[in-house]
Structure formats: structure tokens, C-alpha cells
Amino acid sequence: MRIELTWPDTPDEALLAAVRRVLHAVVALGGAVGYLDPPGRDETDPWLEETLKSVRDGDARLALAQVDGTVQGMGLWRRAPGPVFAHSAELGKIMAHPDVRGLGLGRLVVSALIDDARDAGIETLTLGVRGNNHGAIELYESLGFREWGRLPNSIEVGRQRFDDVRMFLGLGRAPDVVLHGSAPGGPGWSPKRT
């Protein structure tokens, strides 16, 4: 069995079909990747085309995991919008086709995305994960992500509600970056009202 990663930047029919196939299969089994029902071509193709435009613009990267030449897993990082957040990115659409679960594709994809984001100058990666997805949370924690917040029961799946768990991973900063955190002072500062 041969497993390799590819980093596409332009769509073609084969790529569109491969991504659609994985998304459809994952969502059909209840995968928490942003769709309630398996998405059709009218949803997946525009999403992929927009994502690959962001890749070409330097604001995203898409990693595809191929098993014996067939796309079976994927994930992406996308830079946060706006100049004050350009050093941050969010991971998303991390998934493996149900037929190949257990091969470590999730770890392979997320690890590669972490390295790629760091190389692109990203300082902080964030992600959201459904609170009941304990396996994914465990994977992210094993790669260094930490929970920074949880919005209780805010993810709606029919009549069910799940926590939105927010996680982050620091990727390092240039030595001349000054960290203010929440200390008073600096641009945009205002004093407490008394």
C-alpha cells in the first residue's frame, strides 16, 4: 500500500470528483465536516474552486491523502481574513474516507498542514471540532493543540445539539514580535470604566 500527500492548486474534473466522493461518503456516515446531508456537486465544486483560488492567492493550502493513487483523505488550512489576523489560520475539512479509516490519514494530513502553515509564516492555527468527536479531539491534542473555548450545545444536527470545541496550536513567532496579550496600552487600548 502506497500513501502519499498531494497539494493541488487548480481544479480539474478528476480532482472535483475525488473530493466530492470523499465528502459524500464521510457526511453519509454522520461526519462532522460542515454538512448535514451528503453534499452534491452544486455544493462541493464551488467550495473546492474557491478553496483552490485561495491556495493560488497564498491564503490557504489543501492537502490530499492518496492511497494507491486514489484520494482517500483531506484537510486544509485557510488564513484568517483581514490584515490584523493574517498571521493566523484555521484548519478545516479534516477527513478520511470510511473505507480507509485506521490508516493514520488524519494524523498524516494534520501533521503536514501544521508544517506547511508554519513554513507559510502562520503563527497560530485554530480549529473547531464537535464536542462528541472524542477521537478527533484526542488526535489534535496529541499533535499539541489545546482547547481555548467551548460553546455549549451550539452545533445543530436536527433536534440534537453538540458543543463547539475550539482549539489552537502556536507555531512560533519571529524574535522581534512583541506580545502584549491583554496588558493595557498599545493600539486600540482603552482604560477600564469606573
What domains are there in the chain, each with its CATH number? 3-170 (3.40.630.30)
pLDDT of 178 reads 87
pLDDT of 188 reads 83
Buried b (16+ CB within 10 A) or exposed e, 100-118: bbebebbebbbebbbebbe
Q: How far apart are CA 165 and CA 152, in angstroms?
A: 8
pLDDT of 31 reads 87
pTM attached to this predicted model = 0.93
Q: How far apart are CA 68 and CA 14, in angstroms?
A: 15
E strand intervals along 50-145? 60-67, 70-79, 88-96, 124-130
pLDDT of 34 reads 86
- Ranges under pLDDT 50 in the chain: none
